[in-house]
Amino acid sequence: MTASDSILELEHLQLSLGGAHILRDVSLTIRRGEYCSLIGPNGAGKSTLLKCINGIYSQWRGRIVIAGADARHCSRRAIARQVGYVPQHSGVLPGYRVREFLLMSRYAQLDSWGGPGQNDREAVDRAMQRTGIRALANRTLPTLSGGEAQKVFIAAALVQATPILLLDEPTTFLDPRFQHEVNQLVVELNRQEGITVLSVSHDLNSAIQYSDRLLAMKDGELRHSLDPNAVMDSSALAELFDTRFCALAHPRSGKPLLIPE
């Protein structure tokens, strides 16, 4: 891989929080346009890794390179121009209307001296169109269903028009139809618009169906980088989750489908 192929590089990333080692020497490179799923048991450090990449945590050691720039020397705003972030569902939502919330989410692109302009309003309209939420524009966030709110948060990441999208369990709490719609949307953003995706997921089978690569974390370490087509031999995942899996071929895609035994 040449330097221009890679859009995100982590070198020996370490982070301690409250005296505990949460990330231990994580090194990985993600190619431009790649779709990676970050998998692993509860408490493995997956969400923390995303928070280091998008600048929520800054006290890490090691190196993070985003689109060729050393993150240590980038402002939060500069990182926000490269990295869109859809956080884990947090429950309590602020009382903004959807359109207003999306305009605020443009902050990294806004002129620091002025309010939102025509470009910003158009970016919000495009993101609402792309995520199918135009009808929700004047609703307030607390009135939305879980699935609707998740689409709004994806739209909020899209209004930044960033080349990298980080998603933290985007389909948790969603019913099967919304799960499918959100998965399809993320795949389309990746395949059609070339957005690089790093998505934390506990939905192993969707991760296998949609990703180019599975990044398997445990105890703050990156244990495996797996080809989703090669997990029919599920021994690495059995070790990761301390459970055995029965592997079948998906009837349509032929990719592995794993059922915990």
Ligand X SMILES: Nc1ncnc2c1ncn2[C@@H]1O[C@H](COP(=O)(O)OP(=O)(O)OP(=O)(O)O)[C@@H](O)[C@H]1O
Q: Given the rule CB under 6 A, which residues bind ligand X? A: 17-18, 20, 22, 40, 42-48
Considering the complex, state which of residue 26 and residue 44 has its C-beta at the smaller distance from ligand X: 44
Q: How far is the CB of 55 from ligand X (least distance, A)?
A: 15
Q: How far is the CB of 99 from ligand X (least distance, A)?
A: 30
Considering the complex, state which of residue 45 and residue 84 has its C-beta at the smaller distance from ligand X: 45
Q: How far is the CB of 251 from ligand X (least distance, A)?
A: 29
Considering the complex, state which of residue 66 and residue 215 has its C-beta at the smaller distance from ligand X: 215
Q: Which helix (H) or strand (E) holds 247?
A: strand 245-249
Q: How far is the CB of 21 from ligand X (least distance, A)?
A: 9
Q: How far is the CB of 48 from ligand X (least distance, A)?
A: 3
Residue 5, CB half-sphere, CA atoms under 13 Å: how many? Answer: 6
What's the full length of the chain, in residues? 261
Considering the complex, state which of residue 43 and residue 94 has its C-beta at the smaller distance from ligand X: 43
Q: How far apart are CA 15 and CA 46, in angstroms?
A: 12
Considering the complex, state which of residue 149 and residue 217 has its C-beta at the smaller distance from ligand X: 217
Q: How far apart are CA 123 and CA 118, in angstroms?
A: 9
Q: Mind giving me the DSSP string for 65-105?
A: EETTEEGGG--HHHHHHHEEEEPPP-S---S-BHHHHHHHT
Cα-only R_g, the chain: 18
Q: How far is CA 34 from CA 30, 95, 190, 196, 213, in A?
A: 7, 35, 8, 5, 8
